[in-house]
Structure 1
Amino acid sequence: MNQNTPKMLNRRSFLAASVAMIGAPAIGQSVNTTQMEADVSSTVRRNISSFRSLTWQPYFSSLRNGAVLVDIDSRALHFWSADGKTYRLYPSSVPMSEGLTRRGRTSITRKVVGPSWSPTANMLKRNPDWPRYVPPGPDNPLGTHALYLGWKYYRIHGTHDKRKIGRKSSSGCIGLYNQHIAELFSLTKVGTQVLLI
């Protein structure tokens, strides 16, 4: 054994430890992944930057009436029931640009099964070929259910176009798969608090 041996071992130990530390977050993520996170399809995973469970306490002072948190950056919607026993995490579509994005606190003001849709004046300026009215059904961009928010024209709704989920693809609303909006619809009520961050 020459006098350089301890230095080589130290270098090797350092490199091995560095590689282990770099891999640790990925290992930790897979170990702590919830069933909801594990159920997200690989297509959605490619479209979102982050999809992880959160706790409600940093965002709400209480769970009175239940709580919905929409994280625009991670393209995820979180729901907590008023008693704290039910938590849901859904991939979502979010607005195409920051200019179309609304952030802040509001609440659910109305719930509609089979919503109709009419584009706003600004939407028609951008897309003059769009129809002025779309009745409920498979061609409706609001999908099967809509939760109307306290802000005019803003909704959390379903979509028949599954390619939109996990993407920046809406004109301001938050979109969910139809099966997810149906579940969220059943869990929420008028007055459920909503925060978009």
Structure 2
Amino acid sequence: MSHGSFDIKSRRAFLAGGAALLSGVASPVLAQDGADTVEIEEEVSEKVRHNISSFRTLRWQPYFANLHKGAILVDTTSRALHYWSEDGETYKLYPTSVPLSEEMTRRGRTSVVRKVEGPEWRPTPSMLKRNPDWPSYVGPGPDNPLGTHALYLSWTYYRIHGTHDTRKIGRRSSNGCIGLYNEHISELFSFAKTGTQVLLI
């Protein structure tokens, strides 16, 4: 069963089908600060999140200065992950799960520092404090909360990973990480590199 992602070839059909939805939506342009970062003012960021209230394709330029090693944008409001390849030829859009609460949600710039197929899972100390009955370790397999693949970020404990529980996708259901269907994290895993830029808004 396919859970629907968009690549560059299907974008035209998607845009044509959603022309009424997309018409009149402004594309904010943000000031670039240096070769590899884009500063997002709070008021502009709020406007961006308001404009992404529906699941739709985006351009990378408002969020990144370049596509060096590719770029991943996670929008926690629309619960969508956007990926652009370094050459700009590949664009993907995936539905995600997002953190349960604002307190668990981290926003800002990070990057992929490690890629693991068949990840192991150890709950963080704060997770074990909230859920003392949880196991301290789960190996790779169908019971692993990280699914089949994980992209580890430079922020401690934060990952973009799969999930075997497909009910979580599209919901506030995680303890801080960003979850994808296993078939989607497998595809993203094949595209993303160590060093791929990541921005959570």
What range is the shorter-chain TM-score in? 0.7 to 0.9
Q: How much identity, in percent, do the aligned residues show? A: 73
Q: Based on CA coordinates, which of the two structures has the bigger radius of gyration?
A: 1
- Per-residue CA deviation, residues 157-186 of structure 1 (Å, 9 max, x unaligned), is 000000000000000000000000000000
Structure 2 equivalent of residue 168 of structure 1: 172
Matched, 1:29 2:21: yes
1:105 aligns with 2:97: no
After TM superposition, list the pairs within 5 Å mapping 1:119-130 onto structure 2: 119-130=123-134
Q: How many Å separate the matches in 2 of 1:164 and 1:49?
A: 19
Query: What is the TM-score normalised by the length of structure 2?
Result: 0.75
Code of the aligned partner of 2:156: K
Aligned-partner Cα distance in 1 for 2:22–2:155? 38
Structure 2 gap ranges (5+): 1-17, 24-51
Three-state SS of the structure 2 residue aligned to 1:136 is: coil
- Which structure shows the bigger proportion of residues in helix conformation? 1
* 1:63-83 per-position Cα deviation (integer Å, ceiling 9, x unaligned): 011000000000000000000
Question: 1:17-166 alignment to 2 at 5 Å?
Answer: 28-29=20-21, 50-166=54-170
Deviation at 1:55, TM superposition (A): 0.3
Off by >3 Å, runs of 4+ in structure 1:
none
CA–CA distance in 1 between the matches of 2:162 and 2:54? 21
Residues 152, 91 of structure 1: CA spacing in aligned structure 2 closer, same or farther, 3 A cutoff? same
Q: Is residue 96–residue 170 contact of structure 1 (8 Å, CA) maintained in 2?
A: yes
RMSD: 1.6
Which amino acid in 2 is paired with 1:55? Answer: R
The one-letter amino acid of 2:199's match is L
Q: TM-score normalised to the size of structure 1?
A: 0.77
- TM-superposed CA distance for 1:30, in Å, is 8.5
Q: Which runs of 5+ in 1 are unaligned?
A: 1-25, 32-47
2:39 is matched with none
Relative distance call for 1:80 and 1:125 in structure 2 (3 A) is same
Residue equivalent to 1:6: none
How far apart are 1:50 and its partner, in Å?
1.8
SS at match of 1:51: coil
DSSP-derived class of the 2:129 partner: helix
Inter-CA distance 49–138: structure 2 relative to 1 (3 Å threshold): farther
Q: What is the aligned partner in structure 2 of residue 42 from structure 1? A: none
